[in-house]
Chain A
């Protein structure tokens, strides 16, 4: 994208405000990758808007040199819905977290997903309440010890991707703060998707929940525990040693060193809703050699009309059927009488 004859650089998207997340927070990486990828997306900065709720992640808009609103706890998807419906020209990004998006704002999130406005929802998942100093969140694992759960959490956690698929989201992806290349690639795809793009980003809170995603980020463990989804490619992981196949609808781990050929493997198709549901269920808290790997990438992507298009179509239809609204005729109504 060009501005005054020069292309945007990442600096053009950086505001003059000091970034105030804790040193070492995963949010820095996400902010950096967003600012890095934006010049490639072809969005005119004047049309770019970030809307957030409340929480650590929700400070994000203040650090972006674009339009932005730091709204109230959990309501960013609703604010974004009104904004995008009113002004479809804008590129609208919702920044939310696991507490903001899945707890207090859970209702708005699922309804935004089903409506399918052309917006992007980035859910920074750190499995903890950070800004309120360390209570268990709706994605914290069962039994988690926190300030508000000294005997362990008894809340069964949400599976954020299954939840989104259950709400009929049209774009469902997962990425992680520690993998900048993958993160940028997913952000780019989210932008390109026409409809609500829902991206769960694993984000390390090094103060209250350090290492929560280590099985999927630590160089020694991640290959064995995670699988990178690529459209049209067989599901292979663990350095090519393991693969996944489907026996009907039942997924199986196969050892590629023991005679299984790649041609027998499950080939990723992000347009397949059933398979996306199966992938989203790969959600064991404790990873292990017999456990399914955690998938990263785009689980699901579907072309569906957007809410703002449908809304505009109704306005056009009304114009066609009723004619352009005439204020005097409206006020006058159908039946009047004269008083002399």
Chain B
């Protein structure tokens, strides 16, 4: 009996790949992402993996997931409930089945549902959950991936373990077939990755192709096609947040004519920035893997003192360790960029999960009065712009600047209509002009001191963490001088806000009932929620902050145009506190602290609630 496979068009699909943390799920996910980007779909991804490198095999705790939402329409989030679940074992199934949309597709690796796997997943060993899936609920593909893959690789000189390692490519191949994806980008990737190991290369290529042809063999019910998205015309690439951030740093250093000195201590989820930069030394980038977080920031300060653009990146616990040195940077008034790729806290917290709970730490977390500008990235590609902007501010205003990213956008990917280097503004360091007497803490009209580098004849001077006399910079314990210096340091940071571009509403009317105000990585979820709310006829607008400290001068006016301000955050209400403190506004905090990003429908529901709907 032959059946013809039906074709269906979709405008948007969400796929969730899940398996053991050793199953190659992240690799399969990132390959699907690249392929899909190159096919012209808009997309957003969310990798979600355990903190352990090889968590106990087969357990729910060890499940690694990768979700991608892609389509022919605008995509702002990795999607809430997947249309497709690829489950390599019972634990992956158990963890994710409740999120799968009714009528969705399950691709299950049969071998991952044996008694042993059921036991490891703490499921009833006597019942295979796949037997329980009702055809009316889901479209189930039970594929014995392990067996089919082993058969396909039978004649290759490979051990069983090594054969099984390419199972992810088999699964990926089948998903490629289901969604009309092009195999070429992944074939090219494999060829490059395994260029020194022809047998492993052959195994992976064969697995991918076998998986692809499997769809035809079994005469699957339906295949889906998703047309290219109608994105703004231009040239696009796929970009991951941490990568974008590192490129932004390089771009800024080039535009400022400075060497980039990056010092870091390995920490999840910031380490990829160090990895990326250490591969790009041909941009005059010096990378320094320090002995600890404190050495990383102080070495960056030393490099800035010496005339480089000093940068360090870390995550929450590392940020806590850097606190004292941040204070030093405030006193020294040298350029310095500090990146915090936030993760769940407090303490070690949830290293691989996302959270926005370090905002108040960034704004206030130092001894003494020590204001530092804080800016936040809203999406993977925005990490580039924020890194560039932070570097510009650091150099032009001679100040440390804190960049807040988080695990969600650091590891997430999206298409990016990237800029040309000529379109990036120039960055001008305030070097000493040499026209007048040099005083280390003499300031220009923006209260910025000039930058003199060791090696400059006749301008020898000393700086340090002790309070300094106005202008000369000499150590001073004078009471009035200290108060004046505290005020000057506050004022010079406050004045940076005078140079911000005007705030632009993302959507919705300029006045009305509800303003949804966000910062950082919640941008996409809020955007979708507000768009849907508007289409439901609700009176709601969206504003998203890049500069979270100092707050923009025009924020107060905008806020006053709305009856209520809804602030969704992945913390216990930190921006809400700042806004309540600064403005007379009716603020509703909406908080999620689960180590996961917002789903758009969660925000939408809250907007409806505020409308009394």
Contacts and interface: CB of A to CB of B under 8 A. Distances in A.
Contacts of B232: 339
Interface in A53-93: 54, 61-62, 64-73, 75, 78-87, 89-90
Interface string B277-303: 000111111101011101100111111
B229 to A, nearest CB: 8
B455 A89 contact: yes
Contacts of A54: 465
Contacts of B466: 70
B300 A322 contact: no
Contacts of B301: 71, 79, 82
Interface in A292-325: 311, 314-315, 317-319, 321-325
Given A89-B455, A107-B295, A339 B302 contact: no
Contacts of A70: 462-466
Contacts of A79: 298-299, 301-302, 305
Interface in B572-604: none
Interface stretch (B33-41, B392-400, B512-520): B33-41
Contact of A339 (B185, B231, B292): B231
B298 A87 contact: no
B337 to A, nearest CB: 14
B236 A46 contact: no
B460 interface: yes
A82 B288 contact: yes
A338 interface: yes
Interface string B227-254: 0111111111111000000010011001
B463 A87 contact: no
A151 interface: no
Contacts of A84: 302, 306
A46 B458 contact: yes
Contacts of A15: 462
Given A69-B464, A83-B306, A335-B34, A322 B282 contact: yes
B283 A330 contact: yes
A243 B105 CA distance: 88
Interface in A134-155: none
B166 interface: no
Most buried by B among A48, A87, A111, A321: A87
Contacts of A111: 290-291, 295
Contacts of B475: 17, 62
A46 B460 contact: yes
Given A67-B454, A67-B462, A82 B254 contact: no
B461 interface: yes
A108 B291 contact: yes
B332 A86 contact: no
Contacts of A337: 37-40, 235-237
Given A82-B263, A331-B418, A75 B464 contact: no
B164 to A, nearest CB: 29
Contacts of B291: 78, 107-108, 111
Contact of B465 (A72, A78, A324, A325): A72
Contacts of A321: 282
A339 B460 CA distance: 55
B474 interface: yes
B298 A86 contact: no
Contact of A318 (B282, B384, B459, B465): B282
Interface in B447-461: 453-461
Nearest to A334: B237
A194 interface: no
Contact of A324 (B282, B292, B307): B282
A45 interface: yes
Interface in B261-288: 261, 263, 280-286, 288
A318 B290 contact: no
Contacts of A333: 237-239, 418
B462 A90 contact: no
Contacts of A335: 34, 37-38, 185, 237-238
Contacts, number: 213
B250 A86 contact: no
A97 to B, nearest CB: 16
Nearest to A81: B299
A132 interface: no
A332 B418 contact: yes
A85 B454 contact: no
A103 B302 CA distance: 21
A328 B307 contact: no
A85 B286 contact: yes
Contacts of A61: 462, 464
Given A327-B251, A331-B418, A86 B40 contact: no
Given A46-B456, A78-B294, A79-B305, A85 B254 contact: no
Contact of B250 (A17, A46, A325): A325
Contact of A82 (B228, B261, B458): B261
A72 B455 contact: no
Interface residues of B, number: 77
Interface string A124-135: 000000000000
B420 interface: yes
B394 to A, nearest CB: 15
B280 A325 contact: yes
Most buried by A among B239, B418, B456: B418
Contact of A78 (B254, B285, B286, B302): B302
A340 interface: yes
Nearest to A114: B291
Most buried by A among B234, B283, B462: B462
Contact of A86 (B308, B457, B465): B308
B302 A51 contact: yes
B129 interface: no
B91 to A, nearest CB: 34
A340 B233 contact: yes
Nearest to B228: A339
A308 to B, nearest CB: 9
A65 B464 contact: no
B227 to A, nearest CB: 12
B235 A86 contact: no
B184 to A, nearest CB: 10
B234 A72 contact: no
A49 interface: yes
B291 to A, nearest CB: 4
A311 B261 CA distance: 11
Contacts of B324: 72-73
Contact of A81 (B229, B237, B288, B457): B288
A202 B254 CA distance: 47
B130 interface: no
Contact of B237 (A73, A80, A319, A332): A332
Given A45-B460, A322-B282, A82 B300 contact: yes
A80 B283 contact: no
Nearest to A316: B281
A78 B295 contact: yes
Interface string B37-49: 1111000000000
A104 to B, nearest CB: 10
Contacts of B564: none
Contacts of B286: 85-86, 311, 315
24 contacts: A47-B454, A64-B462, A65-B460, A67-B460, A69-B305, A70-B465, A71-B464, A72-B324, A75-B298, A78-B302, A79-B305, A82-B302, A83-B303, A83-B305, A85-B286, A85-B299, A86-B306, A87-B308, A107-B291, A108-B298, A111-B291, A327-B250, A336-B236, A338-B236
Given A66-B460, A69-B302, A317-B281, 12 more contacts: A61-B464, A69-B462, A72-B325, A82-B300, A90-B454, A108-B295, A322-B282, A325-B280, A328-B421, A333-B239, A335-B238, A338-B234
Interface of A: 15, 17, 45-49, 51, 54, 61-62, 64-73, 75, 78-87, 89-90, 107-108, 111, 311, 314-315, 317-319, 321-325, 327-328, 330-333, 335-340
3 tightest Cβ-Cβ pairs between the two chains A and B:
A70-B464, A82-B302, A82-B299
